[in-house]
């Protein structure tokens, strides 16, 4: 009988331990559902492909201004199954919309903008700016980066509290968005 009770107690403790909270940070709020793995042919070294939506995403933040959130920098890297581009924005994060467009247009003038890529993800930040108070731009030019999914990026508008940031992609691909302290990241499935 003591052996049976001990076995029940050990089994119960094992179950509780399996359900115990891990000491990992909670995931940041994302605007896309978790990826759904799909089969990858055997013999490859790639991780399972991911399926993320391609539909427009809008996230609303209303930071107290001034100061207006400033896009200070851009970083990028490739990972197994996705490319990531990070927008560094110290302080409060602005709201944003991300959507696929067939062509890129400059804010204000409406002039067509060309960057390398076969598909274009337009990210509009608001309220935000891509310049310092003295007018110096923080992110300039078109950057060709040639990752598997992301081929280029550029700030195509910094006008009246809106920053338009364009990603040139190798194809229209699913994406997910997340936020961490002082940054917004965009993962593009590959």
Task: Average the pLDDT over 153-177 and give the result.
Answer: 98
The CATH number of 28-189 is 2.60.40.3500
pTM: 0.75
Mean pLDDT of the chain: 82
| pLDDT at 179 (0 to 100) | 98
Encode pLDDT of 154-163 as tens digits: 999 999 999 9
Residue 15 has pLDDT above 50, yes or no: no
Top pLDDT among 32 and 50 is at 50
| pLDDT at 51 (0 to 100) | 84
Residue 20 has pLDDT above 60, yes or no: no
Tokens 């195509």 — which residue?
156
Encode pLDDT of 24-46 as tens digits: 333 344 444 444 333 333 333 34
């Amino acid at each position: 009988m003591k052996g049976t009770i001990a076995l029940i107690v050990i089994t119960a403790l094992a179950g509780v331990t399996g359900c115990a909270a891990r000491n990992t940070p909670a995931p940041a709020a994302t605007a896309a559902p978790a990826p759904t793995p799909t089969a990858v042919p055997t013999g490859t070294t790639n991780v399972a492909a991911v399926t993320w939506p391609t539909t427009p995403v809008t996230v609303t933040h209303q930071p107290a201004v001034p100061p207006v959130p400033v896009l200070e920098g851009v970083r990028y890297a490739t990972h197994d199954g996705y490319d990531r581009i990070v927008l560094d924005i110290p302080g409060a994060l602005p709201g944003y919309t991300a959507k696929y467009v067939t062509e890129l247009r400059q804010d204000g003038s409406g002039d067509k903008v060309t960057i390398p890529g076969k598909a274009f993800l337009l990210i509009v930040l608001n309220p935000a700016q891509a310049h310092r108070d003295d007018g110096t731009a923080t992110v300039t030019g078109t950057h060709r980066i040639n990752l598997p999914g992301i081929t280029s990026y550029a700030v195509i508008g910094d006008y009246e509290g809106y920053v338009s940031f364009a990603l040139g992609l190798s194809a229209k691909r699913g994406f997910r968005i997340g936020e961490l302290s002082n940054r917004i990241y965009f993962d593009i499935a590959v």
